[in-house]
Amino acid sequence: MANSLTAAEAARRLGVKPATLYAYVSRGVLSRGKAADGRGSLFDAAEIERLARRGRPRRPAGTVDITVESAITEITADALRFRGFDATRLAVSRSFEEIAELLWTGELRRAEATRTGAGEPWHATPAALAVGRGAQAVLPAGILPLERLQVIVPAMATTDALRLQLDESAVLAAGRNIIAGMVDCLPSPSGSATAGSSAADASAADASAADASAADASDAADASAADASADTAAPASAGGTIAERLWSRLSDRRPSPGLLGALSAALVLLADHELAASTLAVRAAASVRADPYAVVGTGLGAMSGTLHGGASLGAETLLAAARDPADVPRVVGELLRRGEKVPGFGHFVYRGGDPRALALLDLVRRTAPKSGQLAVAEAVLAEMRHKSLPEPNIDFAVATLARVAGMVTGAGEAIFAVARTAGWIAHALEAYTGDDPLRPRAVYTGRPAIIEP
């Protein structure tokens, strides 16, 4: 970029901090280029000069800009990239373990080097498993998978005496231990109080498609054969992939290769999403040197909100409320009459449609075209488009996968939590290298100072 300034030079000319400079970029006030090494930022000198003469742009009341430099994830109007790689392509070509390692180290390694054998093992320590399983086992009936995970992670932390060792290798080991433990400490569907509700609903809705031959080897037949006599899948061994083991904790059906691939793709697509609310909370915790378990616990708390990872539960409920595709207009209409938003649609970042949702829904369609639950989801999509309402987001796509696969209620939140833990660890690694805590300031809007009489 000719006649350009570095970030430090541009901030100095404007009389602002570098964080404010990048906030101007995120708000579209300034454009930014890349330095020759691909890492630094360059700003047009003339544009900086015009802004300096015009004065600082005013911000609407009640809004806040928090901008953090990160080399992990890039979001554009229609794309998501992890370390420069398109996430939708990674989702169909790489395993979740490989993508976690990419986010953590910047290296896209072969699967054999990220699983047991050549690389670090992806299983939790025996002590972590014992404590994590014991902690969640005493929870009341009806507890959702995410609520179990919020208990499992801090319980596992008590078994890691070196969890405050924050060098990269130690954090990577903790990350693998946490993710594997989150999955392997969950109960099997038959032992969970939430099991059967989603699976039973899916079986009833899929009854029209359940006449597919059990001998048919196609993914469509596997997805359609949802009758009660279907084989029950045994929990995957600790040597399986994270996707395989997570499936066995969320569904008692034997997965078809296609649906298992869709679950793996969902984990990849959800692995990180830049500075989402939970990730901002995670970076704040890591910036004050909270250990990786505490960091993940922070993320789990933030993502449970209905405007974040918890939105998939709302989408699951929406799909379960419709008896069949013909019942969808009634369900959607009732939501709108109550003044509620239809869960799983629209996104703050992707105004033209969430590319993650498009990719995952396409996988589910190709895998289980005859699924009755997919037909319900398609009817919801058609109804939303008929009313010119927003496009689906990843929460709706994950809820669709969960319903088609006959997973337990709340499976979407669990998929989100396990996947996003990879991103949280990556952001923690970046934050651990910083010198200062992430400490935003508030703009006080309360009562003026009171002078005592």
User: Could you give the residue numbers annotated as active site?
Assistant: 347, 395
Q: Residue 140 belongs to what H/E stretch?
A: none
Written as one letter, the residue type at 255 is P
Give the Cα separation of 62 and 351 in Å (integer): 22
Cα–Cα distances (Å) from 408 to 190, 403, 412, in that order, read 10, 9, 9
- What is the SS3 assignment for 74? strand
Decide: 419 and 268 in contact? Cβ < 8 Å.
Answer: yes
Phi and psi torsions of 22, nearest 5°: -70, -25
Give the Cα separation of 204 and 209 in Å (integer): 10
Cα–Cα distances (Å) from 221 to 362, 371, 372, 373, 404, in that order, read 17, 9, 12, 14, 12
- What is the SS3 assignment for 390? coil
Give the Cα separation of 342 and 358 in Å (integer): 18
Give the Cα separation of 349 and 352 in Å (integer): 9
Extract the tokens encoding 265: 């793709």
Written as one letter, the residue type at 155 is A
Give the Cα separation of 205 and 90 in Å (integer): 32
